[in-house]
Amino acid sequence: MRRISGFRTRGFAPAARLAAGFAVVLVCLAAGGAVAPLLPVRLPGALVGMVMLAALLAAHRGRVAVAAGEAGALLLRRYALFFVPAGVGVMTGAGALRADWPAVVAALLVSSLLALAVTGLTMRLLLGSRASAPRAALPAAGGHE
């Protein structure tokens, strides 16, 4: 299989590549939304679509993957703009937040500490299994014993 970086996309104009990349992402999102209700477990359609996109990109490494990668890179460069609607929502709901600020602060602190603890325990579990594996003896520095 050829690597994604090995493909040249000279035949497409940059705008057409981006449009094709966004189309691939949106089609996977729509397909995920259509497939999610049919699954035996409840999963968000966006998550199912993301898994479909990952499978598509893993299986197809041609121009489709290059176009979707370029569209994703553009989205990541403009990632901060996705926080604007959330910030506007916080500002418009400031009155409700002001009334319940102790509960909001407590929820933020507890969820942050819980996420930190779960991440730490997971890393300890994963790294602990690596540390228990036998290691090869390292030669002394400089080649002398």
pLDDT, tens digit, 9 for 90 and up, residues 27-60: 999 999 999 999 999 999 999 999 999 898 888 7
Please indicate, yes or no, if residue 64 is contained in any of the structural domains: yes
Note whether residue 73 is domain-resident.
yes
Query: What ranges make up the beta strands (E) of 4-83?
Result: none
With a CB cutoff of 8 Å and minimum separation 6, the contacts of 29 are: 45, 46, 49
Give the distance, in angstroms, between the CA of residue 49 and the centroid of all CA atoms in the same chain: 12
The per-residue pLDDT for 81 is: 87
Specify which of 11-15, 39-43, 58-62, 64-68 reaches the highest per-range mean pLDDT: 39-43
Per the domain annotation, does 66 fall within a domain? yes
Domain extent, residue 80, equals 14-93
The verdict on residue 145 lying in a domain is: no
In the chain, beta strands by DSSP E: none
Q: Please report whether residue 60 resides in a domain.
A: yes
Integer Cα distance of 1 and 56 in angstroms: 15
Tokens standing for residue 2: 């050829």
d(CA 62, CA 10): 13
Look at residue 134 and tell me if it is in a domain: no
- How many domains is the chain partitioned into structurally? 1
pTM of the shown model: 0.53
Q: Is residue 138 part of a domain?
A: no
Nearest to 29 by CA among 56, 69, 4: 56
Q: Is residue 131 part of a domain?
A: no
